[in-house]
């Protein structure tokens, strides 16, 4: 018989090492101390910087490979769009946190922080939709995201110029308005 599965030896091991076999004998979570107690400090900043360096190198290599007139497969376009979007969200979050933590941000400054470098201010329609939603739900939290979204789209769909838009344009405008509303509420640009 394989000694590894010998129950008598297993019970002896548990007894010698003062390990309880019953699950119920574990101390409550609060009594176990911090998760990293006795371990080395996390290196999250170092890891993030390393990942960003890799992303930067990949982006530079892709810039060299892809020419303006190139036809790219749809799946590749989708991956590039997602990568750019994720990096922009991370950057805007970090910028927003810096301004938020310093306590020196007004609504107009916060909205400017959410815009990409070189990009225009939010469209007037997105700004109006965000202001409308926030005026109706001024104390909204992240949990109220659906209610804010309903107010934004309800407002936008009531406008004659929006009724003529393609659905993709409406969704892009709605996303922009939700981003602005999130900043106006102090939640961040990508929370709602």
Q: Which residues contact 140 (CB under 8 A, 6 or more apart)?
A: 134, 147, 148, 185, 187
Mean of pLDDT over the chain: 76
Rounded Cα distance between 58 and 79, Å, is: 13
- Per-residue pLDDT tens for 45-87? 888 889 999 999 999 999 999 999 999 999 999 899 888 888 8
Tokens of 57: 């190198």
Rounded Cα distance between 170 and 157, Å, is: 8
161-172 residues labelled b (16+ CB within 10 A) or e (exposed)? ebeebeeeeeee
Q: Please report, for residues 125, 127, 150, 167, the alpha-carbon distance to residue 130 in angstroms, rounded to integers and kept in the order given.
A: 9, 5, 11, 19
pTM above 0.75, yes or no: no
- Per-residue pLDDT tens for 9-19? 767 766 776 65
């Amino acid at each position: 018989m394989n000694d590894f599965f010998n129950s008598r030896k297993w019970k002896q091991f548990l007894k010698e090492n003062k390990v309880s076999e019953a699950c119920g004998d574990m101390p409550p979570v609060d009594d176990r101390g911090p998760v990293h107690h006795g371990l080395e400090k996390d290196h999250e900043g170092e890891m993030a910087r390393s990942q960003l360096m890799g992303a930067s190198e990949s982006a530079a290599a892709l810039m060299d490979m892809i020419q303006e007139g190139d036809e790219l497969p749809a799946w590749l376009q989708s991956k590039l769009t997602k990568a750019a979007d994720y990096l922009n969200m991370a950057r805007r979050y970090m910028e927003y946190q810096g301004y938020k933590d310093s306590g020196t941000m007004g609504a107009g400054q916060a909205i400017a922080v959410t815009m990409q470098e070189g990009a225009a201010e939010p469209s007037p329609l997105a700004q109006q939709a965000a202001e409308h939603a926030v005026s109706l739900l001024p104390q909204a939290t992240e949990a109220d995201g659906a209610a804010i979204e309903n107010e934004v789209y309800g407002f936008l769909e009531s406008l004659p110029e929006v009724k003529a838009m393609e659905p993709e344009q409406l969704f892009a405008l709605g996303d922009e308005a939700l981003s602005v509303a999130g900043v106006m509420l102090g939640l961040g640009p990508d929370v709602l």
